[in-house]
């Protein structure tokens, strides 16, 4: 593998990304480089995965051609200004942060640069991620394809219009946290009725996993799948009635709307 992949930032998403890549490609660790403001997190990743540790961001950029900016949105300006003088034609810059647009990155680099904007989610850790991808006109198709293959090793990938990236942030990037809350609430209901917490988590998590797989593979509308489970006067419709009294679907839609607006706000700063 000729491409060398560098992560600027050593947080949870970097760990999930590296874990997923090495699970799929066990020999890839020698082509992965990381740098971080503090060495503690980077040292942990090097110890756990056998990746290469760079002492500074410029060192990483000099050694890699695929640069993944895995820092928080408010850290992008500092990093981009630091590395812009050594960005060359060979480099592909990949953003994974909410609200960071291609134009924002281009503004600080001040030269034509190959830029890919993505929004992955944490299920990449188990190979079931969902990643949205948009890119500028400066990057050739074969390099886009390589990046797509990287993310496909971590789950599903879809190219979207960049104007929809904030929506993808909500329904793809942030939504796993809502799913975790839902699983926890389902399990709490089981515990309330006497089931052990460990067993309740297994039942709830497997139900969510199986339901999601049905939606993806069955081809039926989610509402139709819901109706199949709801026998007249049965237990399921009673649960749905309770949720709808609490504005279940409307509350989720409102949460997604607020999430999109927050992503747009971050991108406007």
**Can you tell me the distance from the alpha carbon of 100 to that of 169, in angstroms, rounded to the nearest whole number?**
11
Residue 177 has pLDDT above 60, yes or no: yes
**pLDDT of amino acid 26:** 84
Give pLDDT, residue 254. Answer: 97
pLDDT tens by residue, 124-140: 888 899 999 999 988 99
pLDDT of residue 223: 96
**For the chain, what is the mean pLDDT?**
92
Write out pLDDT tens, residues 201-221: 999 999 999 999 999 999 899
More confident residue, 263 or 190: 190
Picking from 96, 103, 92, 177, the residue whose alpha carbon sits closest to that of residue 131 is 96
Dihedral sign for Cα atoms in the order 29, 173, 70, 142 = positive
Domains of the chain (ranges; CATH) run: 5-160 (3.40.50.720), 168-268 (1.10.3730.10)
Rounded distance, CA 55 to CA 156, Å? 33
**Against a cut of 0.75, is the pTM above it?**
yes
**Model pLDDT for residues 11-49, shown as the tens digit of each residue:** 888 988 898 888 888 888 899 999 988 778 888 899 899
pLDDT beyond 70 at 101? yes
Is residue 256 within 8 A of residue 171, CB to CB? The reply is yes
pLDDT at 70: 93
Strand pairing category for 52-53 and 92-95? unpaired
For the cut 70, the answer to whether the pLDDT of residue 1 exceeds it is no
pLDDT (average), residues 76-99 = 93
Confidence band, pLDDT 50/70/90 cuts, at residue 98: confident
Mind listing the pLDDT tens digit for each residue in 145-176? 999 998 998 899 999 999 999 999 999 999 99
Residues 264 and 166: beta-carbon distance below 8 Å: yes
Q: Check pLDDT > 80 for residue 267.
A: no
Phi, psi of 6 (to 5 degrees): -115, 135
- What pLDDT was estimated at residue 38? 79
Output DSSP code: residue 169: I
pLDDT band, residue 269 (cuts 50/70/90): low
- Token couple for 81: 């200004």
Q: How far apart are CA 169 and CA 266, in angstroms?
A: 12
What are the distances in angstroms from CA 189 to CA 18, 185, 203, 249? 35, 6, 11, 19
Asked if residue 191 has pLDDT above 80, the reply is yes
């Amino acid at each position: 593998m000729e491409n060398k992949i560098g992560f600027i930032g050593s947080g949870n998403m970097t760990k999930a990304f590296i874990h997923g890549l090495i699970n799929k490609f066990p020999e890839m660790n020698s082509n992965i480089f990381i740098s971080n403001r503090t060495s503690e997190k980077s040292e942990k990743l090097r110890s756990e995965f056998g990746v290469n540790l760079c002492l500074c961001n410029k060192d990483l950029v000099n050694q890699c051609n695929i640069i993944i900016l895995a820092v928080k949105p408010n850290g992008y300006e500092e990093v981009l200004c630091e590395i812009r003088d050594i960005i060359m034609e060979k480099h592909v810059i990949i953003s994974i942060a909410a609200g960071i647009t291609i134009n924002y990155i281009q503004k600080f680099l001040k030269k034509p640069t190959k830029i890919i904007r993505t929004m992955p989610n944490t299920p990449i850790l188990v190979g079931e991620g969902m990643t949205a991808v948009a890119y500028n006109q400066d990057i050739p198709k074969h390099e886009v394809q390589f990046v797509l293959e990287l993310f496909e090793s971590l789950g599903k990938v879809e190219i979207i219009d960049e104007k929809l990236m904030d929506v993808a942030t909500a329904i793809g990037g942030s939504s796993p946290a809502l799913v975790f809350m839902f699983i926890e609430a389902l399990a709490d209901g089981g515990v309330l009725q006497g089931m052990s917490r460990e067993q309740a988590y297994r039942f709830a998590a497997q139900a969510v996993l199986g339901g999601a797989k049905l939606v993806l593979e069955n081809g039926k509308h989610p509402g139709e799948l819901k109706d199949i489970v709801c026998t007249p006067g049965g237990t399921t419709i009673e649960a749905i009635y309770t949720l709808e009294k609490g504005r279940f679907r409307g509350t989720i839609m409102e949460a997604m709307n607020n999430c999109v607006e927050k992503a747009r706000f971050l991108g406007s700063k």
